[in-house]
Structures are given as C-alpha cells and as structure tokens.
Amino acid sequence: MESHIRSTVFEIFPTMVTTHDLSTDPSFNVMRDVVNKTKTSEHALMKNAESTYNESTGNAWLDNVLLKDFKYLIQQCIDQYTQTYGLKQLRISNSWMNRIGLQGAVRPHRHEMSALSGAFYPQAEPGSTPLILKNPTNSHKMYEIHTNETFFNAGQIEMECTVGQLILFPSWLEHYTEDNDTENRVTVSFNTSYV
C-alpha cells in the first residue's frame, strides 16, 4: 500500500569540513623541500611519531620565509571557509609539522584557543592512516539503537589523506588517527585566531 504522507528531512546543525587540492600550485614543491629538511622530535600526543610542535618555543613552522607563497595559498582556503560558514575573518596563529611512520598514531584531541584548524598532507603513501573526525553529538545520544550506519548516526568519519590535500575543520571537533600502515605520512597542521 502506497503512503500518502508527505515528509521533509532537515539536516540541522551541520559540521562544515572542507578539502582543497593544493598539489598543482608551484609553491607545493618548495614546501615539500622544506618538509624534507625539517628536523622533528618526539611529542607526547603521538605514538611512534615525531613533530616540530613544542609548547615552550612557539610553533611557527609556516612562517619560514620560503613558505610565504604556500602560507598565502592556505590563507585563501581559510578565507573561502570563513565566507561560506559566515565566520569572522581568521589568520593562522601557529603551525607545526608531524611525521608518522609505521604503527605511528595521534591520540584523540581538540585544538583549544582556535576557531578553525587544518591538516595538510605534503607526503602520504597510499594506504596511510586517515584523519578520523569524531561525531560531536555522540555523548548526547542516550537511547539510540542503530540498525545500520547512516549519515545521521555515524560515530565518526574518516578523511583519507592524499598528497597535496588540505582538510579544514572546526577546532572543537575531536580527531585522531589509528595506527599507520605506511612508512611516511607527513602532516602540516595549524590553528587560527580572529583578525
């Protein structure tokens, strides 16, 4: 029997995440050269991985004079995000680089004191562990029993990391990686503050 009930689905309170392919920009190759020459060290938030992040010395990896054009390219993506979202203008406030090798991982975390964060992949072998974004509404779901996973009830979303891709996401969105199955996965990460 055919139903005559008219229904409308509203996707309310969406979380805006954008991706940008920066691999064809001329500044991309310069940035990869800087990545290859950058020294890293262990960081407590990561397992079997290294970073330039250091809480005592500041984090301004993208302020390298050689990266001026690449930083400007990222800023254009940030501007596009803020215009679409309706967010006050933002600028990169700090930045760092992570290297994750075989079985390396990043523990779940958020980026405090930032509105928008980004992850850019200058190097990522095929099969590198994805960036996992956790559903922020999970803790509020008190009595749901799911029969199958849908867009509306997914507990997390995996964002594949591919060479040259920039992912922008709200800083309050908890994210992490699982153990990496490749030898070389590099991320350039950053936070933003209001202009």
Q: What is the DSSP string of the chain?
A: ------------S----EEEE-TTSTHHHHHHHHHHH---EE-TTEEEEEES--TTT--BGGGSGGGHHHHHHHHHHHHHHHHHHT---EEEEEEEEEEEEEEEEE-SB--TT-SEEEEEEEEE-TTPPPEEEE-TTGGG--S---SS--TTT-SEEEE---TTEEEEEETTS-EE-----SS-EEEEEEEEEE-
pLDDT at 58: 65
Token pair for 94: 């700090």
The CATH number of whichever domain residue 28 belongs to comes to: 2.60.120.620
Please give the mean pLDDT across all residues of the chain: 94
pLDDT at 56: 60
**Could you tell me the residue range of the domain that residue 132 belongs to?**
18-52+59-139+154-194
Q: Is residue 69 part of a domain?
A: yes
Q: Is residue 111 part of a domain?
A: yes
Closest alpha carbon to 85 in 16, 19, 13: 16
For residues 3 and 171, the model is more confident at: 171
Average pLDDT over residues 143-152: 92
Q: Is residue 1 part of a domain?
A: no
pTM of the model: 0.93
Q: Is residue 181 part of a domain?
A: yes
Q: Is residue 2 part of a domain?
A: no
Average pLDDT over residues 14-37: 96
Q: Is residue 144 part of a domain?
A: no
Assign 44 a pLDDT band (cuts: 50, 70, 90): confident
Q: Is residue 3 part of a domain?
A: no
76-128 pLDDT per residue, tens: 999 999 999 999 999 999 999 999 999 999 999 999 999 999 999 999 999 99
> In the block, which residue shows the tokens 């958020």?
110
Q: Is residue 4 part of a domain?
A: no
> How many domains does one find in the chain?
1
